[in-house]
Structure 1
Amino acid sequence: MWSPDPMDIFDPPDRETMRLQKFGKLLAGPNTDLDEVRKLSWSGIPPPVRATTWQLLCGYLPANIDRREDTLKRKRLEYKNSIDQYYHMRSDTLHRDTFRQIHIDVPRMNPDVPLFQQQMVQESFERILFIWSMRHPASGYVQGINDLVTPFFVVFLSYYISGDKNPENYNFSQLSPQTLQWIEADSFWCLQHLMEGIQDNYTLAQPGVQAKIIALKDLIQRIDAPLDAHLARNAVEYIQFSFRWMNNLLMREFPLRCVIRLWDSYLSENNGFASFHVYVCAALLARFSKSILKRKDFQEIMLFIQNLPTTKWKDGEVEILLAEAYKLKFMFADAPGHLTTARRT
């Protein structure tokens, strides 16, 4: 099993230039070594190369640098053709309820982030989500999928604006119509990659989510029995707080900048958004174990867990969490009978 370099996990600022150079070398080669990209990306991707790296890790861009431009042209055109083919059907009787739910959910995403309150951005998300639901009728659109577009959208937007501008506050209308279309198409295809690994989170009865909640409970029983017993004594069921963690991939628990850093590692991991995510959730719950044990009844416990004090977290806190999650994976991933449900996801 590959292990991240501890010195990379806790990168001091003066190493950032060196890391950027390493990425630049890897990405510029005639055939990018994706295994090396994954190893380097686990410890965080420098913002200037994050968009390209994510697209490579999603399998959206080919490893061969000469094929990338043609691939982007072809996939962006395919997405545009899907809009032409499907989007006019949003008002049809058969699809009206789906589009109505998307239209309700999109404005609720990241209400504190100005970017996502702009009409052009919301319309872009509506197209992405409706086209995805039309191309995947087995699951269709389910609440929670809308949140999963946001990291891709912000990262790909960042590629087109100067580094000193915060994409979360950016006026989307300043971009050219073509650039807007590119960001939308790239976000769609990378969402599709993510969903391929966790689609059973969103099919009927959401079996993927249910399996991951069982796996989380099993982990906590092994690593923090007093916490598990405390939850049981106070009638706190894991599904009551962790359903959102699995359904939204912790999007509601962390600031968007932290989610993006988290996804650097998820995209680097084999099955990162499924199995490894369970270890991250276990590490998060264990991180606040002492605080939870101080809460003495159901209401106090639930109020705390549903409002964890993570709003001011930055990359450093996320990296510590990831390191703890990696330790759990190293300890338990290959243990007989452990996390069998998560491995099926």
Structure 2
Amino acid sequence: MAAYKARCKEFEDILSADEINLKLLKKYCFNGIPNENDHRALCWRLLLNYLPPQRCSWSEITNRKRELYRQFIEEMIINPGEYDGSADEGERVDVTFSDHPLNCNPDSLWQTYFKDNEVLLQIDKDVRRLCPEISFFQQPTEYPCKAVVHSGGAKRLHRRVQHSVLKSANVERKGLGVTRIALSVRKAPEDYAPLAEGAEAHWEVVERLLFLYAKLNPGQGYVQGMNEIIGPIYHAFACDPASEWREHAEADCFFAFTNLMGEIRDFFIKSLDEAESGINRLMNRLSEQLRNNDFVIYSRLQQQELYPQYYSFRWLTLLLSQEFPLPDVLRIWDSLFSDPDRFSFLIHICCGMIILLHEQLLTGDFPANVKLLQNFPPIDIQVVLNKAVELAGKSSNIYR
């Protein structure tokens, strides 16, 4: 307990300085950011290069970035024919004389609208499945987007896509009589319901974040799985104990996520799979490390033709965000974001995960081992991280 309190004090000292010592901050964050006073959101803002080390410039930078994000919402979420704020209050903007839904002109607002909705449909499905084991993303945010409130909800994206309702027929046979078929209608458990006007659930905020990212990055667009990357960042920012930071979680998250994607975006671009920074190269590095540290298991998996592509593609592209509960993911990312070699430590964690399953993998056949690796069993995350540190040749003195 005394050591834990000392670490909390060290974080307080580092983060209260006029100029943050980033090298020292990374050293402490690598060993885990204490939950006491919950400095994770501020640390991640620094580690993801949203905030510079100089505290005196924070106000100017955040004001500028948040205003820029507000402009993104106003200019890029287009609803043709609806009030856009440029006309007098209450007046509707009628674009039908120059534009209409059947207009094939590439410059048509309607064509942009329909094209955007194709992307939005996938985003909407994905964000409704975010962390179903916790209720956070279904809960209302304290700070619904002002653009949404002022536009009468016109900026709420979920309205633009329709979900088909799941129907199932239950066949029941009673004795020798006629078979009774009962048609039931049910909603998928992950289909989070939108909130009433004037309120927004956290998943709706994440939906808008991903939609704007896709609009601003047309060369990459939205790729399924990005929701699992942005989710933990937004959760950390939206749970910041300081209301002055929590109020701007959406805008701050957008730029932090954009910076992170700038580092890992090659994982999501199929044409770069074979590049030095591509996902195949990363899987090869994992295979090489496993061979160097547990040749028995490496040989076993090779013999079974159970290659890293079968299990580690998701581990690596999503930074292990789907393999562990959210609190463990946050802890893992403390180390990933603060590691000087950035995502080299991800390889050590993944290799450690495999080695820790040595006995099970040694006795399992191909189907059993695939299932085991694709559904990693519950484990103390500290055990995994300690193993990763051992593989990385660093100090094993890691704290929660």
Deviation at residue 257 of structure 1 after TM alignment: 0.2
Q: Deviations over 1:10-34 (max 9, x none)?
A: xxx3322211111111111111111
1:271 to 1:97, Cα distance in 2 relative to 1, 3 A: farther
User: Pick from 127, 132, 135: which aligns with 1:114?
Assistant: 135
TM-score under structure 2 length normalisation: 0.70
1:195 is aligned with what amino acid?
Answer: M
Runs of 4+ in structure 1 deviating by more than 3 angstroms, as ranges, are: 178-181
- Residue 301 of structure 1 deviates from its aligned partner by 1.0
What is the one-letter code of the residue matched to 2:317?
N
Q: Answer yes or no: is the 8 Å Cα contact 2:286–2:351 preserved in 1.
A: yes
Whole-Å Cα distance in 1 between the matches of residues 241 and 64 of structure 2?
20
Q: Is the 2:240–2:246 contact (alpha carbons within 8 Å) kept by the matching residues of 1?
A: no
Unaligned 5+ residue runs, structure 2? 80-109, 140-193, 195-200, 395-400
* Aligned-pair CA distance for 1:153: 1.6
Q: Say which of 52, 67, 83 aligns to 2:73.
A: 83
Match of 1:152 in 2: 233
- The aligned length equals 297
2:358 corresponds to: 289
Aligned position for 2:387:
324
Q: More helix by proportion, 1 or 2?
A: 1
Q: Matched residues in 1 for 2:382 and 2:49: separation? A: 25
User: Residues 1-345 of structure 1 correspond to what in structure 2 (within 5 A)?
Assistant: 13-47=1-35, 48=37, 49-88=39-78, 92-118=113-139, 119=194, 120-160=201-241, 182-205=248-271, 207=273, 208-272=278-342, 274-295=343-364, 297-310=365-378, 313=379, 317-330=380-393
Match of 1:337 in 2: none
Shift of 1:262: 0.8
Asked whether the 8 Å contact 1:138–1:203 carries over to 2, the reply is no
d(CA) in 2 for partners of 1:56 and 1:193?
Answer: 11
Partner deviation per Cα, 1:254-304 (whole Å, 9 max, x = no partner): 1100110111111111242x3221111111111112111121x22111111
Provide structure 1 residue ranges, at least 5 long, that are not aligned to the other structure.
1-12, 162-174, 332-345
Residues 180, 25 of structure 1: CA spacing in aligned structure 2 closer, same or farther, 3 A cutoff?
closer
Distance change (3 Å), C-alpha of 1:262 and 1:132: same
> Aligned partner of 2:375: which letter?
N
CA distance in structure 1 between the aligned counterparts of 2:330 and 2:241, rounded to whole angstroms: 17
**2: distance between equivalents of 1:206 and 1:121?**
33
Change in Cα spacing, 1:248 to 1:206, as seen in structure 2 (3 Å) is farther
| Kept in 2: contact 1:197–1:271 (CA 8 A) | no
Normalised to the residue count of structure 1, the TM-score between the two structures is 0.80
Shift of 1:181: 5.6
